[in-house]
Chain A
Amino acid sequence: MKIAVVGAGPAGVRAVEVLVAAGHRPIWIDEAPDGGGRIYQRPPAALRRNARELYGFESTKAAALHGCLDRLKPLVDWRPETLVWHIHPGRKTLYMLNGGMQATAAYDAVLLCTGAMDRVIPLQGWTQPGVTTLGAAQIAVKAQGCAIGHRVALVGTGPLLWLVAHQYAKAGAQVAVVIDTTSLASLAAAAPGLLRDSITFAKGLYYMGSVKARGIPTVHGAIPLAIEHDETAVTGVRFRDARGREQRVACDAVGMGWGLKPESQLADLAGIPFDFDPLQHNWLPERDATGRTPVASHYLAGDGASIGGAAVAELAGARAAWAILQDAGRAIDTAAVRRLDRALARQRKIRAALERAFPFPVRLAADLADDIILCRCEGLRAGELRAAAVSDLNRTKALTRTGMGRCQGRICGVAASEVLAAAVNQETATLGRLRGQPPVKPMPVTSLPAREHAA
């Protein structure tokens, strides 16, 4: 039986571990030079340091996951630095690109563990050099030993906001201000749910407390107004605080993000239907608690299926691997599967509390001023989308080119939906979503034979 696993983050690693233990030798593909995924991304060799310094509280888990990853590599068909740019569910074929060379892989079953990326809301000035996602700000420190600037403002909401602020301060970077769009009242209301998992809760409080204890200015329930800049650099960030006063803080870089969204283009191309999840405020590919989808032989796990964080990704990866084995008629370890199911059910409740604690600020996206660049690939402004708005995101896309650019709407898709929903006065969920297109990421022109592309 040919099994393919896409993605070598926490979900992919734990899935492959189960498959290998059951005697399989899957093909295992990741676009990155090494496994680890986002949370446990490994720096280039010249920058490796001990896990404790790189991963903080998660260092034991990071070391365990990396140990598992390295042990598995020789036991599978390991393909790092390989992009899966298309999947054909009928032909059960993956289309891959490695160093400009194309290849295909046929499979009997495939597990997609493609992870997530930052969910962003455009702000005045957000395309300027010096403005990055929160995830990018973290990658700079973790994988490159750099801060995104000398005085960094962090803007958005969610656990990553406070984690990055803590990591910056600890690494010796100057954090000018942390601007959280979530109010303290919303956080407090979600606290009882979060207490179910006292560790998650304690870590969250620790990061927030650590940031405040260092004397870093923090603002809750604020509305970011603009990122100010001159010809060459960011100069400051303007916001309205919870009491309605306008404030400005000087800085030379801004990291921003409002939670995460799944990297789900391959699931889309595999023909898996999507639903709008109102709690997460994301379009999610349909799958059950085991990782099975409505498309037979196609499975999903980790943040690429639904935002759950690293612990859930590990559990969901292992669980989906068991589902693959069971569907192939193989014997499964029912006790292990039961343990996974119980742990996943518990995590879902914690996750729901976390989503309630840091809600996506719909209005901030919906109310984007007309002159703000919405789609950075196409240089398209919010007002242009409003002017052409029709009650369907993909038709509006065709009319305006929103989300048609080189990132395929990964960056602007969320905000475009909200701007459109407000403009036509409908629910976000009724307008559809931007569809994935092959290749899921732009490829060097030389590597794209027309025949393959048309396939």
Chain B
Amino acid sequence: MKLLRLRDTDRPRLALTLDGKPIEALDGDTLLTALLAADAVFLRRSEFGDGPRAGFCLMGACQDCWVEVEGTGRVRACVTLAVDGMKVRRG
């Protein structure tokens, strides 16, 4: 899944990592936006072996966008704002 940025791309840049690889985000991005507008493609793998997942509701309800943030623990990527330096692992 690849989000397409339509506007407001002149915001300050933030540097994150996903599973150790650099991800460039924009100030005001949620983690979900930051990762899926970059090339993350997915956020976690289903525990039941039915493949990758990348969130569904974007409003904090479905819990399908869980990722791990170093120092914070498990968060919902869709309602967590990206912060410069965040180290994220797939959930």
Residues in A lying within 8 Å of B, measured CB to CB: 31-32, 38, 43-47, 49, 117-118, 127-133, 135-136, 139-141, 144-150, 171-173, 232-234, 252-253, 263, 373, 376-379, 405-407, 410-411, 441-442, 444-446
Contacts and interface: CB of A to CB of B under 8 A. Distances in A.
B53 to A, nearest CB: 6
B1 A233 contact: yes
B8 A140 contact: no
28 contacts: A46-B12, A47-B11, A49-B8, A118-B57, A127-B46, A127-B51, A128-B51, A129-B41, A129-B52, A133-B57, A140-B3, A145-B5, A145-B9, A146-B5, A146-B6, A149-B3, A149-B4, A150-B4, A171-B7, A173-B6, A232-B42, A233-B41, A234-B1, A253-B1, A379-B48, A410-B62, A411-B57, A445-B73
User: Size band of the B side of the interface?
Assistant: 35 or more
B28 A47 contact: yes
A45 B28 contact: yes
A263 B59 CA distance: 12
A2 to B, nearest CB: 27
B7 A150 contact: no
Contact of B62 (A146, A233, A407): A407
A387 B28 CA distance: 46
Interface in B69-90: 73-74, 78-79, 81
Given A129-B52, A144-B30, 14 more contacts: A132-B57, A136-B56, A136-B58, A136-B78, A144-B33, A149-B2, A171-B7, A253-B1, A373-B50, A376-B53, A379-B48, A411-B56, A411-B61, A441-B61
Contact of A147 (B3, B42, B48): B3
Given A44-B28, A129-B42, A144-B30, A444 B58 contact: no
B6 A379 contact: no
Contacts of B60: 31, 441
A130 B8 contact: no
Interface in B27-44: 27-30, 33, 36-37, 41-43
A150 B6 CA distance: 10
A227 to B, nearest CB: 12
A372 to B, nearest CB: 11
B4 A147 contact: yes
Contacts of B4: 146-150, 173
A191 B28 CA distance: 42
Contacts of B46: 127, 376, 379
A347 to B, nearest CB: 24
